[in-house]
Structure 1
Amino acid sequence: MSRDARWKALLELLVERGRLEVEEAAAELAVSAATIRRDFDQLAEQQMLVRTRGGAVVHGVSYELPLRYKTARRASEKQRIAKAVAELVAPGEAVGLTGGTTTTEVARALAVRGDLGTGSPALTVVTNALNIANELAVRPQFKIVVTGGVARAQSYELIGPLADGVLSQITLDVAVLGVVGFDVAHGAAAHDEAEAAINRLLCERAERVVVAADSSKLGRRAFARICGTELVDTLVTDAAVDQETVRRFEEAGVRVLTV
């Protein structure tokens, strides 16, 4: 196992359990305790965990795994969700994409839709995510608008008043939200309040709002509220979602698509 793969596995275990002991992690990953100690020390230097005597803990309840370590989690579900979301977009529309692994897959699914480049005007994509803008900028069939702002290392998203200034001047046909949690009573949420504020602005500027979230995000709350459930038109999720959860969202007026 490479160091990057080992770090990814360690961080995922840590997010899941909240605490890891050296011996426990070594047994899980089939490596030596000395290797895990070095990994914990190096990850602590990057402020990605807190070192303890004999192990490590996450930073707190709002701990967020950096985007580069989340790309492989539930990958097949995210790709199916992304394809379904991309099918909701019509040629010539203006689409807002927040940051996140699922919305990054949505950008890739839009990129391979051959019909989106045939109309006039071109499909417009507005995003505050640097990685999404980077992937789509080479696609001549798209008009890419980047919000500006200060880059946030965990998610590659631009935040702050510079982003506010751009979003206040535009209108969107659809905003696609990646979320940390989406709960019927508490709405869509993110870890970071500045990130949530930009995502909220995208929703306010859009004719319709689509939440793209795998089933593990549903029924969960997070620190920073993006918007209430009443502002969401469509939820696209995977087929593992609990049917009672689907019923509750539908009763709240959200169309639920499962893939």
Structure 2
Amino acid sequence: MTRYERWNALLELLARDGRLEVEQAARELGVSSATIRRDLDQLAQQQMLTRTRGGAVAHSVSYDLPLRYKTARRAPEKQRIGAAAAGLVAPGSIVGLNGGTTTTEVARAIGTRSDLHPSTGAPGVTIVTNALNIANELVVRPHVKIVVTGGVARPQSYELIGPLATGILNEVSLDLAIIGVDAIDAEQGATADHEGEAAINRLMASRARQVVVVADSSKLGRCAFARICQVDEIDVLITDTAAPEKLTERFVEAGVRVMRV
């Protein structure tokens, strides 16, 4: 288990229980108490938790696991999903990308598409995004034109949200919207935990000719707080091979093209 995987696990335990004891965490993660103490000290320095005698408690601020600590979850699956979604992007197209770990993998796959490089003579792509980390990664790619929405940044997801984020999206047309979600269900549609993110994702989807949802199998058959769009507004769902056939069949019956990668 890497350091970031341990940090991710510790923060999840803390979110679940509200309090964490060093010895308990060491047993659950199968590492030494000294390692857990160092991890807790480093997380406390980043203000992710508050250290106590013998452990830690959840920080007093609103608790949500930041994007940088989620990247280790299902990384191979997300990379395959990202590559498959990037393969749907045609040269010269305009693509909307929201924030999240899976869409970040989509952005990285687009960024390394050799057939989109200017040296091949093919037109590049335009990426419209509300995700600061995606814009930061792609702005150095010569074949990618980056358009960033306005808005207020959420530290947890690096996404720009709020009324200031809608101005750009209302003025553009997208060939493709590739949307990461917190949950997707064949009846309830695509949903997000945060209503501000859901609102921007919904607007992005409405501006696109085709909507692609990227979601690993752990998000299927679930419903989060705020709706992004109905199932009949989704053209393609890209998930991983661990997705149960019973679940994916329901999306197919609803008219969604399902890609399991």
Using structure 2 for the length normalisation, give the TM-score: 0.87
In 1, are the aligned partners of 2:4 and 2:72 still within 8 Å (CA)? no
Aligned ranges for residues 1-259 of structure 1 at < 5 Å? 4-14=4-14, 17-18=16-17, 21-22=20-21, 23-29=23-29, 30-32=31-33, 36=36, 43=43, 48=48, 64-117=64-117, 118=120, 121-259=123-261
In 2, are the aligned partners of 1:19 and 1:55 still within 8 Å (CA)? no
Please list every run of 5 or more consecutive structure 1 residues that lacks an aligned counterpart in the other structure. Answer: none
Q: CA deviation at 1:36?
A: 4.5
Give 3-state SS (helix, strand or coil) of 1:91's partner. Answer: coil
| Cα deviation code 1:101-147 (max 9, x no counterpart) | 11000011111111123456431111110110111101111111111
Going from structure 1 to structure 2, the CA distance change for 1:186 and 1:154 (only over 3 Å counts) comes to same
Give 3-state SS (helix, strand or coil) of 1:110's partner. Answer: helix
- 1:127 maps to a residue whose letter is T
In 1, are the aligned partners of 2:13 and 2:20 still within 8 Å (CA)? no
Going from structure 1 to structure 2, the CA distance change for 1:2 and 1:174 (only over 3 Å counts) comes to closer
| Cα deviation code 1:121-178 (max 9, x no counterpart) | 4311111101101111011111111112111100111112221001000000000011
User: Partners in 2 of 1:57 and 1:135 — Cα distance?
Assistant: 34
In 2, are the aligned partners of 1:213 and 1:236 still within 8 Å (CA)? yes
Q: CA RMSD in A?
A: 2.7
Give 3-state SS (helix, strand or coil) of 2:104's partner. Answer: helix
In 1, are the aligned partners of 2:191 and 2:198 still within 8 Å (CA)? yes
Give 3-state SS (helix, strand or coil) of 2:126's partner. Answer: strand
Alignment coverage as a number of residue pairs? 255
After the TM superposition, which of the residue ranges 188-197 and 18-27 deviates more from structure 2? 18-27
Q: CA deviation at 1:9?
A: 2.5
In 2, are the aligned partners of 1:91 and 1:119 still within 8 Å (CA)? no
Give 3-state SS (helix, strand or coil) of 1:24's partner. Answer: helix
After the TM superposition, which of the residue ranges 34-43 and 97-106 deviates more from structure 2? 34-43
User: Partners in 2 of 1:3 and 1:153 — Cα distance?
Assistant: 21
- 2:237 maps to a residue whose letter is L
Q: CA deviation at 1:12?
A: 3.6
Going from structure 1 to structure 2, the CA distance change for 1:178 and 1:153 (only over 3 Å counts) comes to same
- 1:227 maps to a residue whose letter is C
- 1:107 maps to a residue whose letter is A
User: Partners in 2 of 1:120 and 1:229 — Cα distance?
Assistant: 34
Please list every run of 5 or more consecutive structure 2 residues that lacks an aligned counterpart in the other structure. Answer: none
User: Partners in 2 of 1:54 and 1:221 — Cα distance?
Assistant: 37
Using structure 1 for the length normalisation, give the TM-score: 0.87
In 2, are the aligned partners of 1:8 and 1:69 still within 8 Å (CA)? yes
Going from structure 1 to structure 2, the CA distance change for 1:122 and 1:71 (only over 3 Å counts) comes to same
- 2:245 maps to a residue whose letter is Q
- 1:183 maps to a residue whose letter is D
Question: How many percent of aligned residue pairs carry the same amino acid?
Answer: 67
